[in-house]
Amino acid sequence: MQLIGLLGGMSWQSSAEYYRLLNELVQDRQEGLHSARCLLYSVDFASIEAMQMEGRWDDAAEALAAAAKVLEDAGADFIVLCTNTMHKVADQIQAAIGVPLLHLADTTATVVKEHRVRRVGLLGTRFTMTQEFYRDRLASHGLEVLVPEGDDRQVVHEIIYNELCQGIVRPESRARYREIIRRLVDAGAEGIIYGCTEIELLVDQTDSSVPVFPTTRLHCEAAADRAMGAGRVRRPRLP
Catalytic residues: 83, 196
Is the alpha carbon torsion for 9, 93, 4, 228 positive or negative? Answer: positive
What do you get for the CA distance between the two ends of the chain, in Å?
Answer: 25
SS (H, E, C) the chain: CCCEEEEECCCHHHHHHHHHHHHHHHHHHHCCCCCCCEEEEECCHHHHHHHHHCCCHHHHHHHHHHHHHHHHHCCCCEEEECCCHHHHHHHHHHHHCCCCECCHHHHHHHHHHHCCCCEEEEECCHHHHHCHHHHHHHHCCCCEEECCCHHHHHHHHHHHHHCHHHCCCCHHHHHHHHHHHHHHHHCCCCEEEECCHHHHHCCCHHHCCCCEEEHHHHHHHHHHHHHHCHHHCCCCCCC
